[in-house]
Amino acid sequence: MVPVFLGGSPWGPPRMIAAIGLGESVLPPPATFDFAIVMVAVLIHFALSLVLAFVFAFIAKGRSVGSAALIGGVFGLVVYLVNFYGMTSMFPWFEMARNWVSIFAHVVFGVVLGSTYAACTRRTA
């Protein structure tokens, strides 16, 4: 969504995520593709998403799909606020990504997380 709506490089956000583990030296410019940097970003992002999913599971336990989706949207917004306002003391480069695209992506993550979790737990119950 960054290149489509904000005109930035698609490789900027992965570099920002990878910099959590690799340090600021991987930040753009240049915001170009680098396989190792993208893989580190994917691993970090996946690990954080899993941790957040486990936290969310405690919040949404026993909820309906609609309720869990709504709670998930709020959860995604809270994750955005923590990441882009709280964590910027340790990772200041995320300040530049405070925008509606990041908010939207985090809310969608939460809605998908909530509805998927509730649907999956309902089937196994």
Give residue-wise pLDDT tens across range 3-44. 889 988 999 999 999 999 999 999 978 889 999 999 999 999
CB 111 within 8 A of CB 72: yes
Average pLDDT over residues 75-99: 96
pLDDT at 29: 85
pLDDT over threshold 80, residue 108: yes
Average pLDDT score, the chain? 94
* Nearest Cα to Cα of residue 25 among 93, 101, 81: 93
Whether omega before 92 lies within 30 degrees of 0, making that bond cis, reads no
Q: How far apart are CA 63 and CA 59, in angstroms?
A: 9
pLDDT at 23: 96
pTM of the complete model: 0.90
